């Protein structure tokens, strides 16, 4: 199967490579020509623009930073909509606002094109492993037809409802992840300040009710002072902006999400915006005047 893939960043590049490993033909586009060249060296074909790419395949995947970039690639000048043919499918795996997904899907529907919003969770390590979690919105029959394709990049692919539902699920995921990282940060800073080894506290509680995938992924990073991004603070801020925007649209107060957003904004001002979101711990370290180490 020939697949078009647009967006070869931290997540998109390994996802595209996993499609090639699964035996799919790939045609790719990215504004970063170096990463396009990297993909062509492992068997992909390059496209001149999203429009060009859309004219050469019936199935397209986008993995882009935010709503404006997806709208531009899908609907803008030289965008997918200008090259696409009736019966094609766009699988947008970016994390964007649910309303934006619905707007893009409506515009493409006029051209006879179906769309799935299929954001992912797991960060770069799971993208490389091919074990990301994918949450999908759109028509169930379109989901069913493309399930195996998405599973070539994933450990789980779950249908959650109509278009926009995938990104709603992703926003819920980002709330839980952000609050979990903040909770781990608070706990480890408390342990350190109280004179108890954060590592031993982590080992003691990880097997109980407090244990989580987030704790196992982020607590070691905090203690080892390794903040190279699996998922950057600036991207989590972007997602939390979409969370709070959506919460206002539907009338749901999110006091804890609002608070962790302010924490991330504070550490962004301290120059941590391109670090992993485990650097949330630095906010707590700063106000407690302590550093979490093993």
Residues designated catalytic: 170
- Is residue 97 a contact partner of residue 123, using CB atoms and an 8 Å limit? no
CA distance 175 to 214: 12
Catalogue the E-assigned strands of 104-263. 114-117, 120-121, 132-137, 154-161
CA distance 84 to 112: 9
| Residue in 34, 33, 36 with CA at minimum distance from that of residue 5 | 36
For 268, residues 6+ apart whose C-beta sits below 8 A from its C-beta are 233, 234, 237
- Between the CA of residue 135 and those of 126, 147, 169, what are the distances in Å? 15, 11, 7
């Amino acid at each position: 199967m020939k697949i078009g893939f647009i967006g070869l960043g931290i997540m998109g590049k390994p996802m595209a490579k996993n499609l090639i490993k699964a035996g799919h033909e790939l045609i790719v586009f990215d504004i970063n020509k170096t990463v396009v060249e990297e993909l062509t060296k492992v068997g992909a074909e390059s496209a001149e623009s999203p429009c060009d790419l859309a004219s050469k395949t019936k199935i397209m995947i986008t993995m882009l930073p935010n709503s404006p970039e997806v709208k531009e690639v899908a609907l803008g000048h030289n965008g997918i909509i200008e090259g696409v043919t009736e019966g094609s499918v766009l699988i947008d795996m970016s994390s964007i606002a649910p309303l934006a997904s619905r707007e893009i899907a409506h515009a493409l529907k006029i051209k006879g094109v179906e769309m799935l919003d299929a954001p992912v969770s797991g960060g770069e390590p799971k993208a490389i492993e091919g074990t990301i979690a994918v949450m999908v919105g759109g028509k169930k029959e379109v989901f069913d037809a493309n399930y195996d394709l998405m599973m070539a990049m994933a450990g789980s692919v779950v249908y959650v409802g109509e278009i926009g539902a995938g990104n709603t699920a992703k926003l819920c995921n980002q709330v839980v992840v952000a609050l979990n990282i903040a909770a781990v940060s608070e706990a480890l800073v408390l342990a350190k300040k109280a004179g108890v080894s954060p590592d031993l506290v982590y080992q003691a509680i990880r097997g109980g009710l407090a244990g989580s995938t987030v704790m196992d992924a982020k607590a070691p990073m905090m203690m080892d002072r390794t903040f190279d991004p699996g998922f950057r603070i600036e991207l989590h801020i972007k997602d939390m902006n979409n969370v709070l925007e959506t919460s206002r649209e539907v009338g749901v107060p999110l006091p804890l999400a609002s608070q962790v957003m302010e924490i991330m904004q504070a550490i962004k001002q301290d120059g941590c915006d391109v670090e992993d979101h485990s650097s949330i711990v630095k906010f707590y370290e700063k106000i407690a005047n302590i550093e979490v180490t093993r």
